[in-house]
Chains A and B, each alone.
Chain A
């Protein structure tokens, strides 16, 4: 069995954490070749070559691959597909944009967000916002899979695997990049952070979200949010945790002013320790919390920041 793994590369930079977690899952299936592509991808390729379990790295650099557009990236992967039994990636928004396109071009189903590998054909994945775990056995000759990073540990390091440069294929030319709006932050990245502090509608305003951020900074944490907080404009979209946002499983997750709807729980209930601060003792978030504090967040959070 041989696996082609699409590395998470953004603006030439490798996301080691997401990629190394997918390598752990992919290594259960066979020999892992990592594909790094982008307008620049050589440095990312060097990083990927040092992830333990990677046997080879392919680097494709071309302007058409520069902004993670689905059509040229999928075309490149399809051109390489004949050498591999499995085509996989970490379940990021980029991979979820590209892999179903690859699968359809190969006339196979995609297995999205796999959380477990049973054998080379059989995978577990959460459905219904994580309220059920389904085991599926693929009848397709080739498997196309995205792996949920929150359930796999990152692979370690190794001496560098060989790197091969390959060329891009013709750009289908269906779309072009216009701009990225990315907020720079010194905080840890949400999906790889050891501690996450999230705020919900209870926080009440964008200004008061500073309270959540001050607690996060005290704990060296990433900041998350519920959908209601994002919809209300208190927090940017890339902070949303949940069924349709990011899935996190840190050592410590602190939910502040979040009721605990199933769609939110879907993104955080595998965290090791969950703390909930909510003034409503009936809030469902307390059913998954290891430590619950029934309190007004406007007094409890400043006190917590002071006493930690």
Chain B
């Protein structure tokens, strides 16, 4: 069984985001970019499936700008076997929408025929939380989102999902799309020798046009602004003062 893992290149989660003064978006030139943290968890899970003998090959796919090569090399260094880069934009500020990403992934999946797709629950840049669900709709496959536990057994998988009320466990038919949540595993770091080895692993380059997918956005971004900032507060000197302030503010 092949495992396909879509990985997105996003602003590093430690970087303080700056909105451009002209309101045209967020400044991404010269900022540190990394693999979406949820996708690291997905890559880790895919490698564990291979180590457990449940998968034969792990394929990482990224859609976006040419620089997403680096993200794919990270996936290869972690242990993915090969990678596919689908170039769909030239400007690092262009975000490809989940619907277009899902259409491209569907085309890749039609060729590769993986048994399972492991994607992140959410990209930490656009915070959409949509691609996995959309992909499974386009394929007509089952979906198991927000997974904190995954157990694949033959033609079905048992998945525990993090939901508002607690945890839900479902059984899905294979092939399936799983979107992974934070507590599924702790991703490994790539070792230096593996980083070197990754440079020799195959990385195919394609374009959105190769798959005949139109990536024109459906949502026109008409503005990007800073959120309202909070007025500065005060440091209180004691619990008594805190209680007094809360009473004064009518909060207790």
Contacts and interface: CB of A to CB of B under 8 A. Distances in A.
Interface of A: 10, 67-71, 74, 92-94, 96-105, 107-113, 122, 125-140, 172-183, 191, 219, 227, 230-231, 236-238, 243-244, 246, 251-252, 262-263, 269, 272-275, 281, 286, 288-295, 300, 303-304, 307-308
Contacts, number: 251
A274 to B, nearest CB: 7
A234 to B, nearest CB: 13
A132 B162 contact: no
Contact of B142 (A129, A174, A292): A174
Contact of A133 (B136, B143, B225, B249): B225
Nearest to B95: A127
Interface string B1-23: 00000000001010011010000
Contacts of B11: 128
Contacts of B225: 132-133, 135
B157 to A, nearest CB: 10
Contact of B252 (A122, A219, A231, A262): A219
B252 A252 contact: yes
Contact of B221 (A135, A140, A303): A135
B194 interface: no
B234 A129 contact: no
A139 B219 contact: yes
Given A94-B164, A243-B124, 6 more contacts: A100-B134, A129-B17, A138-B220, A178-B170, A237-B162, A251-B251
Contacts of B163: 93-94, 238
Contacts of B230: 269, 274, 288, 290
B94 to A, nearest CB: 14
Nearest to A299: B239
A258 B202 CA distance: 43
Contacts of B251: 251-252, 272-273
Nearest to A130: B227
A133 B130 CA distance: 18
Contacts of A70: 133, 143, 145
Contact of B165 (A130, A182, A230): A182
A71 B142 contact: yes
B128 A291 contact: no
Contacts of A230: 183
Given A104-B137, A178-B170, A269-B230, A238 B122 contact: no
A127 B126 CA distance: 5
